[in-house]
Amino acid sequence: MNEANMVETTTRLPPLGASKDELDTPALCVDLDAMEANIRLAIDTCRRYGVAWRPHAKCHKSSAVAQKLVEAGALGMTCAKLGEAEVFADAGVHDLLIANLVVGSQKLRRLVELRRKADPIVCIDHLDQAEPINQAMLNAGLSVRVLIEVDLGLDRVGVPWGAPTVALARQLARMPGLTLAGIMGYEGHLLTVADDHEKTQRIREALTRLVDTSNLLEKDGIPCGIVSCGGTGSFFVSVAQPGITEVQAGGLIFSDAFYRNMCHVPQFEYALTILATVVSRPTPERAIIDAGRKTMNQELHKPVVVGRDDISVEQLSAEHGKLRLGPGAQHLRIGDRLEFVPGYGDLTTVLHDRFYAFRGGRLEAIWPLEGRGRLQ
Ligand X SMILES: Cc1ncc(COP(=O)(O)O)c(C=O)c1O
Interaction of residue 182 with ligand X, rule CB under 6 A:
no
Contact residues for 11 (Cβ-Cβ < 8 A; gap 6+): none
Q: CB-wise, 150 or 175, nearer to ligand X? A: 150
| List 99, 159, 222, 265, residue binding ligand X (CB under 6 A) | 99
Q: Does 153 bind ligand X (CB under 6 A)?
A: no
Up-side HSE of residue 321: CA atoms within 13 Å toward CB? 30
Nearer to ligand X, 191 or 305 (CB): 191
**Where are the strands (E) in the chain, listed by range?**
27-31, 52-53, 77-79, 95-101, 119-124, 144-151, 159-160, 178-184, 226-229, 246-247, 272-283, 286-289, 304-305, 311-316, 321-325, 337-341, 354-359, 362-368
Amino acid symbol at 175: M
Q: Is 248 in the site for ligand X (CB under 6 A)?
A: yes
Task: Name the minimum Å distance from CB 156 to ligand X.
Answer: 8
What's the rounded Cα separation, in Å, for the pair 84 and 89? 9
Q: Quick one: which segment of 6-14, 209-217, 243-251, 274-282 binds ligand X (CB under 6 A)?
A: 243-251
- Contacts of residue 53, defined as CB under 8 A and 6 or more positions apart, other chains included, come to 42, 43, 46, 73, 74, 75, 246, 247, 249
Q: Which of 25, 26, 51, 56 binds ligand X (CB under 6 A)?
A: 56
Of residues 188, 223, 225, 243, which one binds ligand X by CB under 6 A?
Answer: 188
Q: Cβ 259 to ligand X, closest distance in Å?
A: 7
249 counts as binding ligand X under rule CB under 6 A: yes
**Binding status of residue 232 toward ligand X by CB under 6 A:** yes
Chain centroid to Cα 160, Å, comes to 25
Residue 161 CB, nearest distance to ligand X (Å)?
16
Residue nearest to ligand X (CB): 231
Footprint of ligand X on this chain (CB under 6 A)?
A: 56, 59, 99, 186, 188, 231-232, 248-252, 346
